[in-house]
Structure 1
Amino acid sequence: MSESPVLLTPGPLTTAIETRRAMLRDWGSRDPAFIALTAELRARLLRVARGESSHVAVPLQGSGTFIVEAAIATLVGPRDRLLVLVNGAYGERMVAIARRMGRAVEALRWPEDRVVEPAMVAEALRADLGITHVALVHCETTTGILNPLPEIAAVVAGEGRAFLLDAMSSFGAIGTDLSSVPVTALLASSNKCLEGVPGLGFALIEAAALERAAGNSPSLSFDLHAQWRGFEADGQWRFTPPVQVVAALVEALRRLEAEGGPAARLRRYQENFDTLLAGMRRLGFTLFLDDAVQAPIIATFRMPQDGRLAFRPFYDALAARGFLIYPGKLTQAETFRIGCIGALGRRDFERLRGTVAEVLRTLEVA
C-alpha cells in the first residue's frame, strides 16, 4: 500500500497536496502574519455561508464534537431547554452532550432511514412552549441521510425558537445560505467538505444571540462568547491555536473558491457518488437509504444477508490495495460506509469499483 491511501471516509479525508504543503511553515501565534491569517479564515467561512451581515465566525481548537459541545454549553443557558431532532448517532451525541453539560434536553426521534419531518417539529414546539432551542444534524453521517433544512429552519423560526445546526457533513458542498435560511448557529469542522485537515471546529453564530450568551458556559476553554470577544479585541486566540491546521484550512478555503464554491464542489461529489453507486449496484450491493433522501456525501451499503462477506476481511483487502472505507454505525442493520468527499474525482471511484470487484473475486464472493 502506498504511503497515502485513498480515504473513503467522512473525515479525515484525502486532501490536496497544496493543502498539505500549507502546513510546512511554522507560525508564531501572536505574530501579525498569523493574526491576519486568522482574520482571513473567519471572513472566508462567513462568505461560504453568506453570513457576513448577520453572523460571526468563532473557530475553536478540536474536532467537530468539540464545537458542538462548546455551542450547546454557550448558547443553551442553565434555564433553557433544548429539543434535539434525532435520526442518527450524531443527533444522539448532541443529547448526550447536553445532559453532560447539565442542560435540560429532550429528543424527538425518527428511524435512521427517515428524514426529520417539519410538521412533527411544529407540533412538538406548539405543544411545549418551554422549549427554547432546537438542534438538528443536517446530513447525518450515520447513514448519509439529508434532512430538509429550509423547511425545518422555517418551522423553528416561525415558532420563535433558536436553531442550532450541525452542518459537519454538508458545509462547503450542500449550500447553507444564512442570509435566507434562519439559523442561529451553524457548526462545522475543517476536515469534511471543506477538505482541510482535522483539528479545528467553528461556529457561525448570530451576533445578537452570542451577545446574549455571555456567562452561560460552565467551561473556560469551550466558552464561545469569550472566544469571540478575544478575537474581536486583538485578533488572537485565547489559547494556543493549531497554527498549521489554520493555515491548511485557509488554503482549502481558497481552493473551494477557485473550484467555484459549494455548488461546484457538490457537482463533483455527486459525480463521485453516482459513479460509486452504479458500480456497487452492478456488484450486488444495495444502499441502506432510499435514493430520495440520500446525500452524495457518504453512502451506507448493506452487507450481503447470506453471510458470504464479512466486513473485516473486506476492509483489510481494500486497505491492502490502498482504499480505506468505514464500518457501519447503525443499530438496525449490518452495513459499511464509503465517503464520496475529499480531493477525489470520478476516476478515483472508477478505480475503486474495479478494486472492489477484484476483492470479491479474491474472497470468492460471487
Structure 2
Amino acid sequence: MSVSTDPLEPPRLGEPYLLTPGPLTTSFAVKQAMLRDWGSWDDDFRAMTREIRRRLLALLGAGAEAFDCVPMQGSGSFAVEAMLGSFIPRDGKALVLANGAYGQRAAQTLRYLGRAHAVLDKGDYLPPRGAEVAQILAQDPAITHVVAVHCETSSGILNPVAEISEAAYAAGRKLLIDSMSAFGAIGLEPAQIRYEAMVSSANKCIEGVPGFGFVLARKAEIEAAEGNSHSLSLDVHAQWAALETTGQWRFTPPTHVAASFLEALRAHEAEGGVAARGARYARNRDVMVAGMRQLGFETLLDSRWLSPIIVTFFCPADRNFEFSRFYDLMKAKGFILYPGKLTVVDSFRIGCIGQMDEHVMRRVVAAAKETLAEMGVASAAPPAAALKERAKLAA
C-alpha cells in the first residue's frame, strides 16, 4: 500500500481517519512509542512521569508556577470526577453550567457524590454568559464553586470561560473547568483566565491515546483538598502526595499510554505549541464547514460559537438520507464520523482534531459529496423546523 504524502498525514495501515473529539487519529510515532514495556516503579518510567508533568504545566503559559500537575488513571470522566470530588468540599455547593451532555454529566457526578449543586441549563444551542452566572451567584450565597465545560462536544460550542471566570471571582467564588477537548489547542493561561483547577485527557488535543487524564490545579488547592475526596482511587491530593514523595503513581499506571503521550507532547512542542495546534484545527474547521455548507449542510451553531474541535451538522431533511447508511459509506471511504448527541433534532458531528490538516478535510467534503450522490440525496438542507428552533433559541 502506498503512503500518502499529504502534510501531517501519518503512515497509514488502512485504518480510517477518526473524525471524532478523541480517541482520534494519532501519528505513527505515537503508535510506535507503545511497542516497549516499562516497569511502573523503574527510574526510567519515573523520569517519564516527571517530564509529562513538567511539559503539561508548561502548556498553561503565564501563571503556571502556581500550579501542579496530577495525572489520574482512567478516562476523562474519571479525571472530572476526581476534580469535583477533591476540590468541592462535602459542605460546598456547585453551580454547574450545562449546555450539553458533559455539563449534565458533571451534575450527575455531583449527585453521585452527594454534593449540593444547582444547574444552569442552556440547552443545545447557547453558551452560559457571565451576566447569568453573576445573577445566580448573587441570589444563592451557598454556592462555593462554578463548574464550566470549556468546549461542549455535544454541539461543538466553545464556551466563554473568560467572562464566566470574571463573574465567579467577582462574587468571591471559585471556578473549576472541564477542558477535556480544548486543552492543548485553545489557550487557558491562568494569568489571563483565573480558575482553581482544570482537567483534560491524553487522547484529545495533545493527540495521544486513551488511558489517563490529568488535573492541573493550584498547589494551594491541592494541599487544601486533603480529606475531601469520596474515593480512594480518585483522590487528587493522595495521588499528588505519592508523586511528590515517591515519583510513582499510587496504583498501576497505563505505562504504554504514558510513553506514547510523552511522544505526543514532544510533537506538540515541535509543531509550535498551543497556538500552532489551535491554528491547524481552526483551518480544518473552516475548510470543512465551508465545503459542507456548499453541499447544503447547515451547522447547528451560529458561526461565532463554532469551536475548532468538533462541529455539529443537522441531518438533511431529504427522505433518502439515513445517517446509519451515510456513516457506513463515509467509513468505506476512510472517514469515521461521530453520531449526534442532541435531544431536539437529528444531527451528526465531524471532528477537526487529530493528525489531520486542511488537505484531509477537503477529502472529507469530497467523500460527503460522493456519498450523498450514492444515496440519492438531492438536497442536504435541514428540516425547516430545525432552523426555526435554532433561530428561536438564539433570539
Match of 2:253, as an amino acid?
P
Choose 142-151 or 300-309, whichever is displaced more.
300-309
Q: Distance in 2 between matches of 1:305 and 1:318?
A: 19
Is 1:59 aligned to 2:43, yes or no?
A: no
Residues 16, 335 of structure 2: 8 Å contact kept: yes
Q: Distance in 2 between matches of 1:54 and 1:307?
A: 56
Q: Distance in 1 between matches of 2:58 and 2:97?
A: 27
Partner of 2:24: 13
Residues 156, 306 of structure 2: 8 Å contact kept: yes
Q: Distance in 1 between matches of 2:15 and 2:41?
A: 33
Residues 137, 147 of structure 1: 8 Å contact kept: yes
Give the aligned length: 366
Q: 1:285 aligns with which of 292, 297, 311?
A: 297
| C-alpha distance after superposition, 1:179-212 (max 9, x if no partner) | 3311101111111111010111000011111111
Q: 1:320 aligns with which of 313, 323, 332?
A: 332
Match of 2:311, SS? strand
Residues 144, 299 of structure 1: 8 Å contact kept: yes
Structure 1 position 328, deviation (Å): 0.2
Q: TM-score when scaled to structure 2?
A: 0.91
Moved over 4 A (4+): none
Structure 1 position 3, deviation (Å): 3.5
Q: Distance in 2 between matches of 1:206 and 1:34?
A: 25
Q: Distance in 2 between matches of 1:362 and 1:108?
A: 43
Partner of 2:273: 261
Q: 1:338 aligns with which of 331, 336, 350?
A: 350
Partner of 2:85: 73
Partner of 1:48: 59
Alignment of 1:196-215 (within 5 A): 196-215=208-227
Match of 2:230, SS? coil
Q: Distance in 2 between matches of 1:325 and 1:178?
A: 34
Is 1:120 aligned to 2:159, yes or no?
A: no
Q: 1:131 aligns with which of 110, 118, 143?
A: 143
Match of 1:245, as an amino acid?
V
Residues 54, 179 of structure 1: 8 Å contact kept: no
Q: 2:256 aligns with which of 244, 253, 256?
A: 244
Q: Distance in 2 between matches of 1:3 and 1:80?
A: 51
Q: Please, which runs of 5 or more residues in structure 2 have no aligned partner?
A: 1-11, 379-395
Q: 1:272 aligns with which of 272, 279, 284?
A: 284
Q: Please, which runs of 5 or more residues in structure 1 have no aligned partner?
A: none
How large is the Cα RMSD of the aligned pairs? 1.1
Match of 1:142, SS? coil
Partner of 1:296: 308
Q: TM-score when scaled to structure 1?
A: 0.98
Structure 1 position 2, deviation (Å): 5.9
Structure 1 position 52, deviation (Å): 3.2
Q: 1:182 aligns with which of 194, 209, 214?
A: 194
Is 1:360 aligned to 2:372, yes or no?
A: yes
Q: Distance in 2 between matches of 1:119 and 1:161?
A: 15
| C-alpha distance after superposition, 1:129-153 (max 9, x if no partner) | 1101110001100011111111111
| C-alpha distance after superposition, 1:56-99 (max 9, x if no partner) | 10001111101001111111111111110111110000000000
| C-alpha distance after superposition, 1:233-273 (max 9, x if no partner) | 01101000000111111111111111011111111111111
Match of 2:51, SS? helix
Partner of 1:99: 111
